[in-house]
Amino acid sequence: MTIYHVPENEQEMDEIYVVLSKDESGEGIVAMHTNHGLAPMVFGHKRMVEPTIVVAKKIAKETGKKLTVWKFKKSEMIEEINFQH
């Protein structure tokens, strides 16, 4: 069974926040295992920055990886996807 999480919309998002791992081979988006599977650490509300930093510090300590938290500004919609009957 596939479980989707589509939260209630709160506000217009003009930025997103992402936890990245960086090493000599490049960068990658950090993900964590949850009860519902693998979840990339990408979010759209500033209120999530501090709680995410707490989790990222734990992940960095357990993995020995260098992690960074980035804010990206909204720039371009690629495609609008709507349900059609």
- The pLDDT, as a whole number, for residue 51 is 92
Q: Is residue 18 assigned to a domain?
A: no
- The pLDDT, as a whole number, for residue 1 is 64
- Give me the residues of the chain with pLDDT under 70, please: 1, 3, 85
DSSP output for 14-31: -EEEEEEEEETTEEEE-E
- The three-class DSSP label of residue 33 is strand
How many domains would you assign to the chain?
1
- The pLDDT, as a whole number, for residue 50 is 93
How many CB atoms lie under 10 A from the CB of residue 41? 20
- The pLDDT, as a whole number, for residue 9 is 78
Locate 11 and state its tokens.
């506000």
Q: Is residue 35 assigned to a domain?
A: yes
Are residues 59 and 20 in contact, defined by beta-carbon separation less than 8 angstroms?
no
Determine the structural domain holding residue 64 and report its residue range: 31-73
- The pLDDT, as a whole number, for residue 72 is 92
Q: How would you classify residue 60: left for phi > 0, otherwise alpha for psi between -120 and 50, otherwise beta?
A: alpha
- The pLDDT, as a whole number, for residue 41 is 94
